[in-house]
Amino acid sequence: MKNICQAIEEELNSIQIAEDNGKDIYRQQKNSGMSVALWREILSNPETMRIETSLDFAETSMNLVDDLLGKDVDDKYFTHNYMIESPVILYIPDLKDPEHDRINDGVFVFHWLEKNFEMSGTAHHAWVQFKNNSFKKLTIPMSADDIEHADKKQLDKKNVDGFKEELQILHFALAAVIYMIKRPNFVTQTTVSNSGGVRKRLEKKKGIPKERWSRIQWNVGQNVQREVRKTMGEEHCTALHRVRGFYRKAESHYNNVTKIEGKWFQWIEPFWRGHPAFGIIKSTYAPKIEDIKL
């Protein structure tokens, strides 16, 4: 199983081979304006944040965020609440096609925020590129909005509505992972292991700083448990979960109160309780990446 450094180096090499063999890497998706040439620029941009997570981390993040938002997850949450102000690539190495395991090797989900770059689409697009080791099958990354006008060969006889839903789930996965990254008490960012040689090559060839690669994991372990007990107290020594908003009895002079049937109640906003070092309680209705049929 490749790490993100190896996967990106292979992707850049495949694009170069495709271009050398006369492939048109500038052809764009009609809706979003994405092209293989732009994908290469995002891959090699020194400012791009490159994140690797496991399938389990991505799905658990989705469950937690889904529990936070409720069942109706709108695209506006992605743009306004989760995004960072630089290009970002998420790589999930252990998401594979169970029927074609030797062809697909993980998936890239990425977002591009360069305002000065000329694109026919809008800035909120997120794209998906399934990792493929053959330049002959190099495809243009797709957003959910590209499905309607996609090349039939690229869809490969997929159910259009089903494939669009798959891309939206991966879009949500990227949003959820970014949301969790912004909560450093819950996660750790470490250097991608066994990648020193690749990172040095890409730094020399593309100018990509070595610190722009991260593996994101839950902040867990016995040492973390001890630290949580010491700094946060026993009330946080429970599995991480989202407490939904609720009313509790109050007095009229309390903040944020409402009178209901002659009695005063105070609204308590939703909040996080617990810590991933003690486990994570998942919701029951979040979409699952593992159900995707690539």
How confident is the prediction for the chain on average, in pLDDT? 78
For residue range 108-139, what is the model confidence (pLDDT) as tens digits? 998 875 444 443 334 456 788 887 655 556 78
Task: Find the range with the poorest average confidence among 28-37, 196-205, 245-254, 271-280.
Answer: 196-205
Domain boundaries, the chain: 4-220+285-291, 231-278
Q: Residue 187 is inside which H or E element, if any? A: strand 187-190
Q: What pLDDT was estimated at residue 71?
A: 45
Residue 65's closest CA among 186, 146, 224? 186
Give the pLDDT confidence of 211-261 residue by residue, as tens digits: 778 888 888 888 888 888 888 888 778 988 888 788 999 999 998 899 999
| pLDDT tens-digit series, residues 159-185 | 677 778 888 888 888 888 888 888 878
What is the C-alpha separation between 187 and 64, in angstroms, rounded?
A: 13
pTM: 0.77
Residues 6 or more apart whose Cβ sits within 8 Å of residue 51: 4, 88, 89, 90, 91, 177, 181, 214, 215, 216
Mean pLDDT of 148-167: 68
3-state secondary structure 236-284: HCCCEEEECCEEEECCCCCCCEEEECCEEEEEECCEEECCHHHCECCCC
Q: What is the Cβ-side half-sphere exposure of residue 201, based on CA atoms within 13 angstroms?
A: 11
Query: Which residues contact residue 123 at a Cβ distance below 8 angstroms, ignoring those fewer than 6 apart?
Result: 79, 112, 113, 115
pLDDT at position 97 is 54
Cα(176)–Cα(274) distance, integer angstroms: 18
Tell me the average pLDDT across 138-153: 76
134 or 25, greater pLDDT: 25
Whether residue 96 is predicted with pLDDT greater than 80 in this model: the reply is no
| pLDDT attached to residue 117 | 42
Percent of the chain predicted with pLDDT > 90: 13
Q: Sort 289 into a burial class: Cβ within 10 Å, 0-12 / 13-18 / 19+.
A: buried
Count the Cβ atoms, other than its own, within 10 Å of residue 146: 25
